[in-house]
Structure 1
């Protein structure tokens, strides 16, 4: 499904994190993103199967190993984002946007869709801009808004990919 199921699930995880960061605490939002993130792949496979697709890479895709390799790189980035968040809690979501956006940049190679460069660039840009705005004045740009922007970007991207893709 050109990765749309995973992007949608990821966007929904970001939305839950944003909601918890806004209504409960920043810490609860951060934990929701980290724990929810562990379920993105299995939930995206379930969504694919509900849509009558396997959720597997094409057998002819010689770059399938890149998905696993980029997951390892992403996990290293998440560890760095957690460290940044310990140093300054309101930088966690911007750092995570950059980590996740960076991984999406590789999806162009995986799926052959240049639109992943757009999503990756958008999330990285949002993360960098949000980090800068938080640095200048945390009161003007709350962490829940950062997470909500990430959620919105991914959900809209997923819906456009579902709509425009032929599988």
Structure 2
């Protein structure tokens, strides 16, 4: 399977990745809201465990709402997306490990990691929108670390950015 064909297959099966961005945005928004009303560890748990649900929920929505089928096997872009999950897990572990000393850094480090993963998704889906989304999320996280912005703002801003970006993908896809 050639690169362009693999990317088209990924865009078809995963609704250009928009459903995943949407679900991720909801998880980030939920974690941000929890930071306002509960212990930071609860919000971290929402992000971690909610993050584990992003892919299965995205598949369910893509198949039930958008009536998309599976990726044709073997698709190397699906494997690349799966392999990039390792970087996401490593980033969350680092964020968690520094959180006892630098509690406000958890969401910024996690957002940096998510933004970096979206840079890989530019290759997975063949869409420049992922480069833009990744750079925006990385910039939000970098400014949050530099300016010591509250964790709730980081999580809510990251979630809102993803939800807005998902609308650019999903609204045209529904037509």
- Distance, in Å, in 2 between the alignment partners of 1:107 and 1:53 is 22
- Give the TM-score normalised by structure 2: 0.85
Alignment of 1:8-23 (within 5 A): 8-23=22-37
Map 1:8-157; keep pairs closer than 5 Å: 8-54=22-68, 56-59=70-73, 61-134=75-148, 141-157=149-165
Distance 1:166 1:60 in 2: 27
Which 4+ residue blocks in structure 1 deviate beyond 6 angstroms?
A: none
Contact 1:45 1:55 in 2 (8 A): no
SS of 1:80 mapped into structure 2: helix
For 1:57 and 1:132, the matched residues in 2 are separated by 41
Q: CA RMSD in A?
A: 1.8
TM-score, normalised relative to structure 1: 0.89
Q: How many residue pairs align between the two structures?
A: 161
Are positions 1:162 and 2:170 aligned together? yes
Aligned-residue offset at 1:52: 3.4
8 Å CA contact 2:66–2:174 kept in 1: the answer is no
CA 1:75–1:55 in structure 2 vs 1: closer, same or farther (change >3 Å)?
A: farther
| Structure 1 portions without partners, runs of 5+ | 135-140
1:2 aligns with 16
Contact kept? 1:21, 1:143, Cα under 8 Å = yes
Cα displacement (A) at 1:62? 3.4
> Using the alignment, how far apart are the partners of 2:65 and 2:34 within structure 1?
29
Contact 1:93 1:143 in 2 (8 A): yes
Unaligned runs of 5+ in 2: 1-14
- How big is the shift at 1:129? 0.5
